[in-house]
Amino acid sequence: MTHTGGDEMIDYQIILDNTSSMMSNSLKKKNHWTNKVHEAVVIMSKEGEFGFELKGGAEIGQFPYFGEVKQGKAAVQSGKLAQSELLLEVNNTAVAGLTTRDVLAVIKHCKDPVRFKCVKQGGVVDKDLRHYLNLHFSKGSVDHDHQQIIRDNLYLRTVPCTTRQPKEGEVPGVDYNFVSTERFMELEQSGALLESGTYEENLYGTPKPPAEPSPAAPPLNVSEVLLPGARPNIQGKRNQSVRNMQQQASLEPPEEEEESSPPMVNGNGVAITPGERACRVGVCMGRGAGSSCVWPCAGSVSGITFCME
């Protein structure tokens, strides 16, 4: 539908389409799962309980979530704890991508009252980490940033695997687990990998972290590694995902990475979009009880170092 007035022609259909698009985007933002996130403020009981069972964890490929909530076991100052809801943050520390053991370490480290940020499962976010990590989101979006946080947490406890040969200076089991193609496919098909992808004809994967850390692993210092503002920069040989390596090899100019990156293929031969980050090839480790810390160390419990604020 058009209207001509003098030298000006107005296309009302374009106006209607643009208005509809703006309304649709506004509705999507309103319905985004982050708008349903709520907070529960809880004081620990005299017995040292918070009144809920913690389930899930990255070791089984899941977000941490609440199991049975026991009424009367702890004082809930505000909000509520609900069974099956995902636990996203503890006192502003993101816990998605951590093992159950490490989530509990963060909770125990916090002083009363403890603030839990939670959200009901449904739509984009359910307890399946693999599902969420393999969704495509625009760079700079809340979900894209959240995926990055999850990957950073995963690489506190897991080492990526690849079918390529070690490069000079790389240490097997530290930089990568170097495996055969057959072994990689076994891991992929068994569900042991949270993400996988290819780069320069080599396979790369992100395994689920172990429930219990290796005895050889450095202690995880909660204050230095997990608390807001304390996380060190991820550096070293494994500081990039397959997608980033692929983009750097093919992009000119670099700022067009989202549009120019070619598709990848996962370990099952299924094509995935560039935004489906194949694996976070990076590591972030705590420095342990023997290192310097801005807080006096209160000791080490089962390989996890706690520093008191």
**CATH topology for 36-119?**
Pdz3 Domain (2.30.42)
Quick: pLDDT tens for 229-271. 555 444 444 545 554 455 456 554 433 333 333 344 333 333 4
Is the per-residue pLDDT at 167 higher than 70? yes
Quick: pLDDT tens for 116-166. 999 999 989 999 999 999 999 999 999 999 999 999 999 999 999 999 999
User: Which has more pLDDT, 3 or 68?
Assistant: 68
Percent of the chain scoring above 90 in pLDDT: 49
The pLDDT confidence band at residue 184, using thresholds 50, 70 and 90, is: very high
Task: Give every CB contact of residue 236 below 8 A, 6+ residues apart in sequence.
Answer: 175, 282, 283
Is the per-residue pLDDT at 187 higher than 50? yes
As a whole number, the mean pLDDT across the chain is 74
Is the per-residue pLDDT at 7 higher than 60? no
Is the per-residue pLDDT at 280 higher than 80? no
Q: What is the per-residue pLDDT for 10?
A: 59
- pTM score, whole prediction: 0.68
Quick: pLDDT tens for 223-239. 666 655 555 444 444 54
The pLDDT confidence band at residue 273, using thresholds 50, 70 and 90, is: very low
User: Which has more pLDDT, 256 or 222?
Assistant: 222
Distance of alpha carbon 228 from its chain centroid, rounded? 15
Q: For residues 64 and 87, is the Cβ–Cβ distance under 8 A?
A: yes
Correct CATH for 142-217+229-285 of 3.30.70.100, 1.10.1040.10, 3.30.10.20, 3.30.63.10: 3.30.63.10
Q: For residues 274 and 191, is the Cβ–Cβ distance under 8 A?
A: no
Q: What is the per-residue pLDDT for 196?
A: 93
Q: What is the per-residue pLDDT for 264?
A: 40
Among the residue ranges 1-5, 114-118, 148-152, 210-214, the one predicted with the least confidence is: 1-5
Q: Are strands 220-221 and 304-307 parallel, antiparallel or unpaired?
A: parallel
What count of other Cβ atoms lies within 10 Å of the Cβ of residue 40? Answer: 23
Mean pLDDT of 44-71: 92
Is the per-residue pLDDT at 33 higher than 80? yes
Q: For residues 304 and 297, is the Cβ–Cβ distance under 8 A?
A: no
Q: What is the CA radius of gyration of the chain?
A: 23
- In the chain, what are the domain boundaries? 36-119, 142-217+229-285
Burial profile 91-109: b = 16 or more Cβ within 10 angstroms, e = fewer: bebbbbbbbbbbbbbbbbb
- Residue 193: how many CA atoms within 13 Å on its side-chain side? 26
Quick: pLDDT tens for 82-103. 999 999 999 999 999 999 999 9
